[in-house]
Chains A and B, each alone.
Chain A
C-alpha cells in the first residue's frame, strides 16, 4: 500500500517578468487555471518528469542542491499547487511542515492562534481543544501562551507552529527543512516525535540538507538534481552518490579560480601576521604553479580526510641558485597554522637549482578534519629572504564522513575489552 504516488510529474513555472499568466479575462476563465506552456524563454521547468512511490509507514528522504525542485515537489504532494502534467496521489490526511506558523496573526494571543492554525490545517475546534495542552506542552510555551504572538522570539514562534502542525496527527507528514528551528533539545524532541510516527505506521517525507539525518532515519532516499531524479533507493547509497557529486563540483569551481594571480609587490609586509594573503619576493626563483595530486596523479581540490596527497610545485630559477629553501604551510579557514615545514628546518643542504623543475611534497595521510584549508608555498633564502612567497593563495577542501573536531586528525583506533559491546567502529 503506497501512501504517496508520484507519476511522471512535471511542474512548469513562468519566469518572473511576464506580467501575468493570463492575457485577458477570457483566457483566465476559460483556460482552466493551469500554466500554459508557451516556450522556454518564458517558462522554467522546476520538476521534469519525476516518479516515485512511498510505501505506507516508510520514512522517505528527499535531497538535492538548492533549486533542484525539492520544495516544489513537496508542495505538489501537499496539494499546494497542481502539477503541470503527471499525477500525484496521497492517501490519508496530510500535514505539511513547510513554513511554520504561516498564518499566525501577530496581534492576537498564542492560544487563539493555535486554534485558528489548527483549524486551518484541518482540525475541528473540538479536536484542537482536546490536543491544546499537548500542543502547548510540546512547544514548551505554557508561560507565554496568552501573550500576543508578536512578542514571541522567532524560536518560540517556530516551536509553536511546529507543535500545532505535528499534533494534527496526519497519516502523511511532509517536512521541509524545519528541524533547524529550535535549540538542540527541541530538535531531539522533534526526532523523537518522528520516531513515534514511524512506530505508529505513519509516513514521513523529509526534505533536508542534513544528510546524516537521511542516512540515520530514512528507509529510502531520492536525490533530485535540476528537477530530475539522479538516484533513488537505499539512503546510504544515494547520499554517498550525492556527496561525491557535490565534492566533484567544488573541485571544478575551485580549479576554475586562477591559482596564482600575478599581483602583489615584491616587498614582504613588515608584519607577517597582518598579511592575510598575497605574493611577494624577488622572483629570482619563481613558483609557476601549484597542484594537488591524488595517488593516481590526477589533480584535485577536494580530498577525503586521511587520503594521501602530493603538493607539487612547478618552479623556475632565473639564474643558477645555491642558496634556496622550499617550504609548505597548511592553514585552517580561521587562520590557524596546522602544519608548516621547509627543507631547511628538516636539515637539507641546498646545492644547485637552475632552470625549470618540480618539487613534490608528499603527505601519506592528509590527517585533517573536514573543512577548507589555505596553503602557503614558498621558495626563499636560508636567512628567510623570499624569492617567491605565496601566502594563502591556494585552497583545498577536506571532506570527511566524521564530524570530529580539533586541528588535525591523528591516525587512531579504538579498542574495547570484554564487557563493552559496541559496533560501527
Chain B
C-alpha cells in the first residue's frame, strides 16, 4: 500500500505543475475550437444534441417505463449524461494520451502525469460549461432549487478524484497493454447502462441493486440526481463521503502504478 509520504509527494508534484496543467488545458480548449465556425458553442451544443437523441430514443422510440414514471425525464437524463460524458471521455482519451504525447516523453524531460491530468481537467471544463444548460433546464421545468445544491461541489470533487485515479491507471497501463484501449470502450458502454442514468435506481430490479452499488459511478449519478433534480432532502451524503475516501485511495493507487511504470514510457510510447 502507498505510504503517506508518496501521496504527499504526488500532491506536491501536482501543485508544482498546476500552472503548466492550467496552460495545457487552456491550449486544449483553444486548439479544439480553433477554425470551427461555432467555436466554443460546441461545448454547449454537444451535450444538448446528445440529450436530444436520448430523449428521442427513450420517450418516442422506446416509450417504456422510465420516461413515463419520471417527471421531467429529459432533465433527469441530462443530469446523468453530463457528468458521465466527462467521466467516460476523460478515461477514453487518457488511454491514448501518453502514446499521442510520445514525442514529448521521448525528447523532453517532462512530468508525464501532467498529460492524463490535463485530459481530466479539460473534461471538467466541458462539464462546467454544460452546467448553465442544466440550470436552464431546471428553471424551465420549474424544479425548485433547494439547499441540497450545496452538496454539488463535493459530488464534483469526488468524481474528479475518482477520474484522476482511474485515468492515471488507464493511461500508464495502456502504454504496455494497448488492448486496454479497446477493452475500455466496451467496459464503459457496459458501465453506462449499469449506472442509473437512463433509468432511476428505484426502477432497477431488486436483485440487481447490490451489483449496481458496486459501480462507483452509480453513487455519483444518484447524488447528482438527488441534489439537482429529485425532490426531497439529500440523504445520500454518507455514501458520498465513503466514495470520497475510496476515490482518494484510487488516486493514490493510480499514482503508484503510474510512478512504477514512469521510466518505461520513453521507450514504449
A contacts, CB < 8 Å to B: 13-14, 20-22, 25, 28-29, 32-35, 75, 78-82, 94, 96, 98-99, 102-103, 105, 107-108, 112, 115-116, 119-121, 124-125, 148
Contacting pair A81 B108 (CB below 8 A): no
Given contacts A21-B176, A96-B108, A98-B107, contact A107 B263 (CB under 8 A): no
Q: A30: nearest residue on chain B (CB-CB)?
A: B260
Q: Which of A20, A79, A102 contacts B177, CB < 8 Å?
A: A20
**Most B C-beta atoms less than 10 A away, residue of A14, A33, A34:** A33
Distance from A87 Cβ to chain B, minimum over Cβ atoms (Å) = 15
Residues on A with beta carbons closer than 8 Å to the beta carbon of B6: none
B109: interface (CB < 8 Å): yes
Whether A28 and B176, one on each chain, are in contact in the complex, defined by CB atoms closer than 8 angstroms, is yes
Which residue from A14, A79, A105 sits with its C-beta under 8 Å from B109? A79
- Inter-chain CA distance A103–B261, complex, in Å, is 21
The complex places the Cα of A169 from the Cα of B70 at a distance, in Å, of 63
Known A108-B31, A115-B23; contact A25-B266, beta-carbon cutoff 8 A: no
Having A21-B264, A107-B30, A120-B110, one finds 18 other A-B pairs with CB under 8 Å, namely A20-B177, A25-B177, A28-B173, A28-B260, A33-B262, A34-B264, A78-B109, A80-B108, A80-B109, A96-B108, A99-B108, A102-B103, A108-B27, A112-B26, A119-B20, A120-B108, A125-B23, A148-B34
User: What residues of A have a CB within 8 angstroms of the CB of B266 in the complex?
Assistant: 75, 80-81
Bin the interface of chain B by size: 20 to 34
- How far, in Å, is A121 (CB) from chain B's closest CB? 7
In the complex, the chain B residue whose C-beta lies closest to that of A35 is B267
B68 touches A (CB below 8 Å): no
The answer to whether residues A33 and B260 also contact, given A25-B173, A116-B20, A120-B104 and a CB cut-off of 8 A, is yes
The dominant DSSP class at the A interface is loop
Quick one: CB contact mask for B20-49 with A, threshold 8 Å, 1 for yes?
Answer: 100110110011001100000000000000
Q: How far is the CB of B257 from chain A (nearest CB, A)?
A: 7
B264→A94 contact, CB < 8 A: no
Chain B residues within 8 Å of A20, by CB: 176-177, 268
As a 0/1 sequence over residues 233 to 265 of chain B, the CB contacts with chain A under 8 angstroms (1 = contact) are 000000000000000000000000100111110
CB proximity of A101 to chain B, nearest CB, Å: 10
Cross-interface CB contact of B261 among A28, A96, A99, A115, cutoff 8 Å: A28
Closest A residue, CB atoms, query B105: A80
Q: Which of B95-139 contact A (CB under 8 A)?
A: 103-110
**Cα distance A222–B266 when bound, in Å?**
25
Are B27 and A103 touching (Cβ within 8 A)? Answer: no
- Distance of A184 from chain B, by nearest CB (Å): 26
> Given A29, A99, A105, A124, which contacts B107 in the complex, CB threshold below 8 Å?
A99
- Contact in complex: A103, B176 (CB < 8 Å): no
* CB contact list, B52-84 vs A, under 8 A: none
- Chain B residues near A107 (CB, 8 Å)? 30-31, 34-35
Residues of A within 8 A of B35 (CB): 107
* Residue B183, interface by CB 8 Å: no
Q: How many angstroms from the CA of A26 to the CA of B191 in the assembled complex?
A: 25
Is A21 within 8 A of B268, CB to CB? yes
Which chain B residues lie closer than 8 Å to A120 at the CB level? 20, 104, 108, 110
Q: A96's closest neighbor in chain B, by CB? A: B109
8 tightest A-B CB contacts, nearest first: A99-B107, A107-B31, A102-B107, A119-B20, A33-B263, A81-B266, A125-B19, A33-B264
